[in-house]
């Protein structure tokens, strides 16, 4: 009973904070509301006994992504008035489209599948926490897919850096190859100049 009460409380806070993200005019307040949304979603994951997902949501999104968002929002002079001009005008159409999409998803998935289904007994999960079982399964049964996913992410990171460093007119870019070939003598040049003798009547 207590867990159900906490779930409804977290769900109410989650919905309210998510609505605040798209309705607040101040960008910093919207970003802080998004932080509260992530925290509340992490609490719901922990209530569902998915500790790893809850902790990952807090560490990755709240600890890294949202800090970056806050820095960007506070450093840039963003005027949200022009971004939110057509929000209320297109709100009814957006609500209708969202309702139709929700009805289609429920018809495809089925309402019965949304009900709680008891999970099969797993001795590995019963022996330790959810995080320990997930780590053991990830590095034993699913080691090859995990390494393939890491390789794909690495390739995507390199591709993003390459696209950023592409040649564009009017934009100065760095050339790592030339920077590596630079010698010490080319970085600094010491020029020796003879000191001038002060003229008569001038202070030294």
Q: What is the pLDDT of residue 56?
A: 84
Calculate the CA 144 to chain-centre distance: 26
Distance of alpha carbon 22 from alpha carbon 34, whole angstroms: 9
Q: Which of 68, 90, 112 is the last residue of a domain?
A: 90
Please check whether residue 50 lies inside any domain of the structure: yes
| pLDDT greater than 80 at residue 147 | yes
Q: What is the pLDDT of residue 109?
A: 62
Name which residue leads in pLDDT, 127 or 104: 104
Range of the domain at 49: 1-90
| pLDDT greater than 80 at residue 131 | no
pTM for this one? Answer: 0.53
CATH code of residue 3: 1.20.120.1200
For residues 68 and 147, membership in a common domain is answered with no
Calculate the CA 163 to chain-centre distance: 20
The count of structural domains within the chain is 2
Q: Where are the alpha helices (DSSP H) in 24-90?
A: 27-47, 51-56, 66-75, 80-83
Distance of alpha carbon 56 from alpha carbon 134, whole angstroms: 13
Name which residue leads in pLDDT, 102 or 127: 102
| pLDDT greater than 70 at residue 119 | no
Name which residue leads in pLDDT, 150 or 173: 150
Please check whether residue 196 lies inside any domain of the structure: no
Cβ partners under 8 Å of residue 112, min gap 6: none
Q: What is the pLDDT of residue 125?
A: 46
Name which residue leads in pLDDT, 89 or 155: 155
Question: Taking a C-beta distance cutoff of 8 angstroms, is the pair 89, 36 a contact?
Answer: no
Question: Taking a C-beta distance cutoff of 8 angstroms, is the pair 38, 72 a contact?
Answer: no
Q: What is the mean pLDDT of the chain?
A: 76
Distance of alpha carbon 203 from alpha carbon 186, whole angstroms: 38
Distance of alpha carbon 123 from alpha carbon 93, whole angstroms: 50
Distance of alpha carbon 160 from alpha carbon 155, whole angstroms: 9
Name which residue leads in pLDDT, 125 or 5: 5
Please check whether residue 77 lies inside any domain of the structure: yes
Q: What is the pLDDT of residue 155?
A: 92
Please check whether residue 109 lies inside any domain of the structure: no
For residues 86 and 126, membership in a common domain is answered with no
Name which residue leads in pLDDT, 164 or 26: 26
Distance of alpha carbon 21 from alpha carbon 69, whole angstroms: 13
Helix H or strand E encompassing 155: helix 143-164
Name which residue leads in pLDDT, 108 or 118: 108
For 10-67, how does the pLDDT look when each residue is reduced to its tens digit (9 = 90+)? Answer: 889 889 988 888 888 777 788 888 888 888 888 888 888 788 888 888 888 888 787 7
């Amino acid at each position: 009973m207590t867990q159900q009460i906490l779930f409804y409380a977290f769900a109410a806070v989650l919905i309210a904070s998510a609505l605040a993200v798209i309705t607040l005019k101040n960008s910093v307040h919207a970003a802080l509301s998004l932080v509260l949304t992530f925290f509340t979603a992490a609490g719901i994951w922990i209530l569902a006994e998915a500790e790893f997902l809850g902790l990952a949501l807090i560490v990755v999104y709240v600890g890294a992504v949202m800090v970056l968002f806050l820095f960007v929002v506070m450093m840039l002079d963003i005027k949200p008035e022009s971004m939110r001009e057509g929000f209320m005008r297109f709100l009814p159409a957006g609500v209708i489209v969202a309702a139709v999409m929700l009805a289609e998803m429920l018809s495809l998935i089925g309402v019965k599948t949304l009900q709680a289904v008891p999970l099969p007994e797993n001795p590995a999960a019963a022996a330790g926490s959810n995080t320990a079982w997930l780590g053991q399964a990830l590095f034993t049964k699913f080691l090859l897919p995990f390494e393939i996913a890491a390789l794909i992410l690495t390739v995507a990171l390199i591709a993003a850096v390459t696209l950023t460093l592409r040649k564009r007119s009017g934009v100065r870019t760095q050339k790592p190859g030339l920077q590596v070939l630079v010698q010490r003598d080319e970085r600094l040049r010491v020029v020796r100049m003879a000191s001038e003798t002060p003229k008569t009547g001038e202070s030294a």
